[in-house]
Chains A and B, each alone.
Chain A
Amino acid sequence: MTDAAPIFRDSPADRAFRPRWWLGRTAVYVVLAGWALVCLFPIYWTATTSFKMAPNVMQGHLVPFVDYHPAWLGWRSLGLSPDTIGAESTVRAEFLKRFRNSAVISLAASALAVVLGSLAAYGLSRFSYRFGPMRNADISFFFLSQLILPPVVLALPFLVLYKELALLDSRVGLILLYTLTVLPIVIWIMRDQFASIPTELEEAALVDGLSVWGAFLTIILPIAAPGMVAAFILSLVLTWNEYFFAALLTSTNAVTLPVMVASQTGSQGISWWSMAALSFAAILPLILVGILLERYIVKGMAAGAVK
């Protein structure tokens, strides 16, 4: 039974030890691990530094519990350590206010951009328009060209205009501006999303008696939802991290987290633990978003890049 050669078998060349193949695999994993280290070390460094004390910083300790004993020094200065969390803390109140500002502004701006951008992208992918000499391609280009506009061109006019409109240092002002900056990206992603949905779906819906908007809202939107999530997350990343406009247009009420981080950078000297705690608190929400929703981000950018 076993003495006959099996019909399906690996050829000797495949079964032999292949040093070149193993060498290649090792090299691939070494490079991957190396780059993962490059990507993750700064985050690790910030997280651990927030638990250090002065001697640990000076002596360059790296591994908590092995090199040094973690202390709550950095988090205490933010009012977020276990022993200060119950007590009143002006720093914490300040930090939470900034955090709320950042959250409200980035969420609202992303939501507004996704709504406006999806509608425009759907219209452009389905109907042919004509505004004077502008056809669909020109209108698309008009929207996408806003991406090229450097923020610095808009900054000073907006500063003056917002002053006249009493929108300076207000959340609404920043929300409107941020919506503008991410709108082209949303349109760019959503246009390809909608283009990949066959029009037969809507045609069937229209035959069944739905209006254009009814077909869009009940048939197309659910299909395009993953793309909208991707566009929303990308917008969220860009608006949460935005610094330039926030630094120019806010002073006390609507200051966002990046502005707070930047304003602390100079004043702290070598008390790294508190800066590290602040930085880490500022990047943590997006790290979580990145880990949990990575699939959507990749998908969204893939939709935009590959036609």
Chain B
Amino acid sequence: MTPEGDLLHVVTRDAISAPRRAMGRLLIWGSFGLLVLVAALQALDVAGQIGLGLPNWRPTLYAYGFWATCLCIGQVVLKGEQGKRLVFVLPAALFTVAMVVFPLVFGLTIAFTDWNLASLTGRRFNGIDNMAQMWADPFYWNAMGNMVLYVAAILVEYAIAFGLALLLAAEIRARRFFRVAFLLPLMLSPVAVSWMIGKSMLEARFGPLARLARWMGWDSPSFFGSPEIARITIMVMDAWTFIPLMMIMLLAGLQAIPRELTEAARVDGAGPWKTFWEVTFPLMLPVSVTAILIRIIFKLKLADIVINVTAGGPGGATDTVTSFIFREYRDRSNVGYGTLLAIVYLVLIVIAMTVLMKLADRLTRPRT
């Protein structure tokens, strides 16, 4: 994944004195002790063992921040030059660990409970009941199936994006105008887009696209009536916003191809069609794979448009997993079950992405 770039070699002679070393250790472990102490006191407070009357867990958060700061300073005190290097990566690492690992572990503990915010009983461990419920939930698997379809649509988006990138890379006038125009959909908020296109332009009576459809001979255009058409409409709207993303990556790839290669192909007598398939396309393979993988990642998060345009309808036909879980939480306050669904989704995504990346790796490896 990462090319090991040429590393900066610096020879330093750090003579860290024993007192300085001790101070560094004290700083790190002292602040860590403080963090543990604060967290333990708060836990006891919540359990009702001691009465501190703290309104929330903020003190623990502050203690974590203090420990993280002390850890960074302590590294420099303790290790000198080596520590200064660590401080480049440590803040981001501590931040990500705090923001991802902790909630994920916490999410796992919620996922196996029957926690419903609307019920009075609170949180109770219920083993694999949620699993069984998930297994028998047709709407969840329906949403999964939709995701497969939505992801499959990326191939069409890719073809369009590639075409547009080729056009933009060709010698055309007003290139900057076209580039800005083609880029703009990416800048728009999906929520605004779902009103602009989904709710007004596609509105059956007065929307301009509905008028266009009527003019072209579709008597009663309804873009969200039948499941198939609704799904395609959602796909088109999502494609509209995200084609620029792929297009720009592909454009960058096209501009990085040395002109000599295509010229050499032309001198050798290859027509434009052959030049594209024999020279341009193979050279673009790594960029294409990156663009498609990034696009898949964004597609798997698709929710805003679905939530705001169809709310999953008709009959769950356009649901994505995210929008389904969103409603599971929003309408039914089913925190435990919703979290389990999300975690199963995560596991499936991780498996699928790993397989895809392995395949992509094999695909882009230079063939000899």
Contact = CB atoms under 8 A, between A and B. Distances in A.
Contact of B287 (A122, A291, A306): A306
A120 B291 contact: no
A279 interface: yes
B58 A165 contact: yes
B290 A305 contact: yes
B134 to A, nearest CB: 14
B364 to A, nearest CB: 10
B85 A35 contact: no
A9 interface: no
Contact of B8 (A166, A199, A282, A307): A199
A262 B10 contact: no
Contacts of B103: 154, 157-158, 161
Interface stretch (B16-24, B148-156, B218-226, B345-353): B345-353
Residue from the set A125, A146, A203 with the largest chain B CB neighbour count within 10 Å: A125
Contacts of B163: 31
A279 B58 CA distance: 37
Interface string B192-220: 11111101110000101001000000000
Contacts of B240: 38-39, 42
Contact of B2 (A137, A161, A303): A137
B227 to A, nearest CB: 22
Nearest to A60: B211
A265 B291 CA distance: 33
A149 B184 CA distance: 26
Contacts of A259: 191
Interface residues of B, number: 105
Interface of A is mostly: helix
Interface string A43-60: 101100100000001101
Contacts of B58: 165-166
Contacts of B330: 248
Contact of A180 (B1, B95, B181, B249): B95
B156 to A, nearest CB: 15
A125 B193 CA distance: 38
A104 interface: no
A151 interface: yes
B284 to A, nearest CB: 10
Interface in B77-116: 81, 84-89, 91-93, 95-96, 99-100, 102-104, 106-107, 110
A49 B200 CA distance: 10
B-side interface mostly? helix
B266 to A, nearest CB: 15
Given A38-B240, A187-B92, A148 B325 contact: no
A139 B93 contact: yes
Contacts of B179: 294, 298
Nearest to B298: A147
B160 to A, nearest CB: 9
Given A38-B240, A150-B346, A306 B253 contact: yes
A250 to B, nearest CB: 13
B251 interface: yes
B220 to A, nearest CB: 16
Interface string A1-40: 0000000000000000000000000001101100110111
A153 B4 contact: no
A266 B271 CA distance: 54
Interface residues of A, number: 109
B301 A42 contact: no
A32 B192 contact: no
A150 B349 contact: yes
A144 B2 CA distance: 10
B277 to A, nearest CB: 18
Nearest to B60: A165
A204 to B, nearest CB: 12
B110 A177 contact: no
B96 A150 contact: no
B61 interface: yes
Given A38-B240, A180-B99, A265 B88 contact: no
Contact of B89 (A123, A243, A291): A123
B195 A261 contact: yes
Interface of B: 1-8, 10, 55-58, 61, 81, 84-89, 91-93, 95-96, 99-100, 102-104, 106-107, 110, 163-164, 167, 170, 172, 176-197, 199-201, 206, 208, 211, 240, 245, 248-253, 255-256, 286-287, 290-291, 294, 297, 300-301, 303-304, 307-308, 321-322, 325-326, 329-330, 335, 338-339, 342-343, 345-346, 349-350, 353
29 contacts: A35-B164, A36-B182, A39-B181, A43-B196, A45-B200, A46-B192, A119-B88, A123-B89, A129-B86, A137-B1, A140-B2, A141-B2, A143-B92, A148-B349, A151-B301, A152-B322, A156-B107, A161-B102, A187-B92, A202-B8, A212-B81, A243-B307, A258-B189, A258-B191, A261-B189, A275-B199, A290-B186, A304-B249, A306-B252
Which 5 residue pairs of A and B lie closest in terms of their CB atoms, listed nearest first? Answer: A123-B88, A302-B252, A305-B249, A120-B92, A241-B189
Interface of A: 28-29, 31-32, 35-36, 38-40, 42-43, 45-46, 49, 57-58, 60, 62, 116-117, 119-120, 122-129, 131, 136-137, 139-144, 146-161, 164-166, 176-177, 179-180, 183, 187, 191, 195, 199, 202-203, 206, 211-213, 216, 237, 240-241, 243-244, 247-248, 257-259, 261-262, 265, 270, 272, 275-276, 279, 282-283, 286-287, 289-291, 294, 297-298, 301-307
Given A161-B102, A241-B190, 7 more contacts: A143-B96, A150-B346, A152-B321, A155-B326, A176-B99, A199-B8, A244-B301
